[in-house]
Amino acid sequence: MENASASRGLDVVTAVMLGVISVATALGAWQSAIWTSSADQYLDDAADARAVSVNQAVIADYSRRLDLESTVNARRYSELAAVSEAEQAIVYEFRVQSELGRASAGLAEAWEEWSASGFSDSENPIDDPLYRAETSKSTDSYGYVSTTLAVAADERRGQSAILAQAALVQALALFLFGIAAANRQLRVRASVMGFGAAAFIVGLALAATAF
């Protein structure tokens, strides 16, 4: 009777553990799938941000080229206006304003300060850090977003990989409990179940490191 009771008790424990391990494995696989999907979405968004960053870099470079051309031409017309007759000087001043009018926002004011300084090399608005930051902010922002999303995707994939490893350990636990259920020798059965329980705990501990 004792053997029958013990065997029945082990049957119950085995059935419960098989169910618990199956649920834990299924939850891990579900979470792994969510993280994998999240990583894929991050990578797609990172690629989009990188494409926009490249596009913005081209636009910013083109804008800086136009600004450089405008400031050089405006300086030349300003210098010509300074040595020309009044009527011709008016024409040159108009050309100065026309060149500055097609430059980036805020550059005209900076150019006026540069002109007032006698076109000092240290005051050139094209070399001003604020101007450079303004023209490159969009490119840098999208580049930062792309890098951040790529890092987040790697982290998510790493978490998903850990859960996949934990699932392998849980599969081993299921295998051991399955073997135990087929064995009628109580000592052997209890030993195998002990190994299965240890594998289950290890799997849970490994899965916990992913969070």
Q: What is the pLDDT of residues 160-188, one digit of tens each?
A: 999 999 999 999 999 999 888 777 778 88
CA dist 72 and 69 (Å) reads: 5
Average pLDDT over the chain, rounded to whole?
Answer: 89
The reply to whether the predicted model has a pTM over 0.85 is no
Give residue-wise pLDDT tens across range 52-71. 999 999 999 999 999 999 99
Q: Are 3 and 152 in contact (CB under 8 A)?
A: no
How many helices and strands, by DSSP H and E, does the chain display? Answer: 5, 0
171-202 burial: b if 16+ Cβ within 10 Å, else e: ebbbebbeebbeeeeeeebeebbeebbebbee
**pLDDT level of residue 116 (50, 70, 90 thresholds):** confident
Q: Where are the alpha helices (DSSP H) in 83-128?
A: 86-101, 107-116
- The span from the CA of 206 to the CA of 70, in Å, is 63
Cβ(48)–Cβ(80) under 8 Å? no
Query: What is the reported pLDDT for 2?
Result: 44
CA 156, 211, 198: angle at the middle one, nearest 5?
120
